């Protein structure tokens, strides 16, 4: 690096206030030439240059507080970090001033807390193109240090810059964190033999609609799965209408539009509704209210890849169904090995609100409905 950092001032002092700069950007200076006057809690200190060179950046202005080890000056060229003994003390002891160097940031969207960094460190971060909201602070009281900035800059150089999550991905991250903190998840797995779907006299099946229908049937058989649960109040709300959230994967992230009242609508009507929701998602024109209020969720990840999974329950819901990809497998049928189409299912439930028996009965009802050749 090519920075001169505020050296140890002795006597246990950890910081100093810039009083006056004696150089400016572009100046050529000699070794031991006076660069800056700083005031500590005890005296004014004249800080000389540890080397000859050309000044290309100054970190901080008169009145800014700088901590030991934070940058003061950047030289042109590739010099190692430098430190030097400080100049003679020119004034007697003074009263310690209020520590008011911390500057808050209104743009820290990670935790809405103020970023703690001195102007010198902020200037260094700007110089090295480091986003302060992406830096892990190691200093006292959560303060970002110059060393933190330099490590972040090196990481950016080696691995590329990080980016803040926005929009759908940011919402997904928050939802997943909420689920991890609030839900006690348990997952049941099983396979459904759907060979009857593909017999010669049976029309082609709409797999997603068959899953929607099976969820509606299972919710009516086991209403405790179509519930909103309040973990703080330890109360549950049994819901009479089944509003199904259906996960839709996009390049921008995961959207979950809601297909309303699935137990009271025909499969043709539900298909039209789902197509309209997916089109609205892909065009990014879906109204926010169309992604709110789901009572249970379906993740049909098998359209991409995967067999079984542990889908994530999003509070206040208590149930999510995962459907894997249909594949041909050798199974026992009438005590003989045959090749049949098999649909893997996964049901994750919040065990705070749902018993294992309730979840198993729900899964069994789904499997029984899916095993039929067709539905009305």
Report which DSSP code applies to 82. B
Residue 76, pLDDT score: 87
* Dist. CA 253–CA 19, nearest whole Å: 51
* Dist. CA 114–CA 132, nearest whole Å: 11
CATH number of 3-159: 2.40.50.100
* Dist. CA 187–CA 348, nearest whole Å: 4
Residue 17, pLDDT score: 85
DSSP string, 285-345: ---GGGGS--SEEEE-GGGTS-S---PPP-TTB-EEEEE---EEEEEEETTEEEEEEEEEE
- Write out the CATH class of domain 168-370: alpha beta
Q: Is the pTM of this model over 0.75?
A: no
Residue 340, pLDDT score: 92
> Are 359 and 188 in contact, with CB atoms under 8 Å apart?
yes
* Dist. CA 315–CA 176, nearest whole Å: 10
Phi, psi of 283 (to 5 degrees): -90, 0
* Dist. CA 300–CA 292, nearest whole Å: 19
> Are 212 and 259 in contact, with CB atoms under 8 Å apart?
yes
Tens of pLDDT along 91-121?
222 333 333 232 322 333 334 347 888 888 8
* Dist. CA 214–CA 365, nearest whole Å: 7
* Dist. CA 313–CA 311, nearest whole Å: 7
* Dist. CA 166–CA 230, nearest whole Å: 28
Residue 113, pLDDT score: 46
Return residue ranges of the chain for CATH 3.30.559.10: 168-370
* Dist. CA 33–CA 331, nearest whole Å: 86
DSSP string, 137-177: P-SGGGBPPHHHHHHHHHHHHHH-------HHHHHHHHHHH
* Dist. CA 121–CA 72, nearest whole Å: 9
Return residue ranges of the chain for CATH 2.40.50.100: 3-159
Parts of the chain with a pLDDT under 70: 1, 11-12, 42, 78-113, 167, 200
Cα 26 to its chain centre, rounded Å, is 43
> Are 24 and 58 in contact, with CB atoms under 8 Å apart?
yes
227-230 and 3-5 beta bridge pairing: unpaired
* Dist. CA 105–CA 114, nearest whole Å: 5
């Amino acid at each position: 690096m090519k920075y001169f950092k505020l050296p140890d001032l002795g006597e246990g002092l950890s910081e100093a206030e810039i009083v006056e700069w004696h150089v400016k950007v572009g100046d050529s200076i000699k070794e031991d030439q006076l660069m800056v006057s700083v005031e500590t809690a005890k005296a004014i200190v004249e800080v000389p240059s540890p080397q000859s060179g050309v000044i290309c950046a100054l970190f901080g202005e008169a009145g800014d507080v700088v901590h030991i080890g934070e940058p003061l000056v950047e030289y042109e060229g590739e010099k190692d970090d430098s430190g030097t003994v400080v100049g003679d003390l020119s004034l007697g002891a003074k009263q310690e001033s209020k520590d008011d160097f911390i500057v808050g940031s209104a743009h820290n969207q990670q935790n809405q807390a103020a970023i703690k960094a001195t102007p010198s460190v902020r200037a260094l971060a700007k110089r090295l193109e480091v986003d302060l909201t992406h830096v892990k602070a190691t200093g006292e009281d959560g303060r970002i240090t110059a060393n933190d900035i330099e490590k972040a800059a090196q990481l950016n150089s080696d691995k590329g810059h990080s980016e803040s999550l926005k929009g759908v991905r940011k919402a997904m991250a928050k939802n997943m964190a909420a689920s991890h903190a609030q839900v006690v998840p348990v997952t049941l797995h099983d396979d459904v033999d759907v060979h009857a779907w593909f017999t010669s006299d049976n029309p082609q099946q709409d797999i997603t609609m068959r899953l929607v229908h099976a969820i509606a049937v299972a919710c009516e058989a086991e209403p405790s799965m179509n519930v909103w649960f309040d973990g703080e109040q330890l109360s549950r709300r049994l819901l009479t209408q089944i509003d199904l959230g259906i996960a839709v994967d996009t390049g921008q992230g995961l959207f979950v539009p809601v297909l309303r009242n699935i137990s009271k609508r025909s499969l043709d009507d539900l298909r039209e509704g789902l197509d309209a929701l997916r089109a609205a998602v892909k065009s990014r024109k879906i109204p926010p209210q169309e992604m709110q209020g789901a009572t249970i969720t379906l993740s049909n990840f098998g359209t991409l890849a995967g067999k079984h999974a542990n889908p994530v329950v999003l509070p206040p819901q208590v149930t999510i169904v995962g459907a894997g990809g249909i594949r041909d497998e050798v199974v026992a049928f009438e005590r003989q090995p045959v090749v049949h189409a098999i649909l893997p299912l996964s049901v994750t439930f919040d065990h705070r609100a749902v018993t294992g028996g309730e979840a198993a009965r729900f899964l069994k009802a789904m499997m029984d409905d899916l095993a039929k050749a067709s539905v009305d």
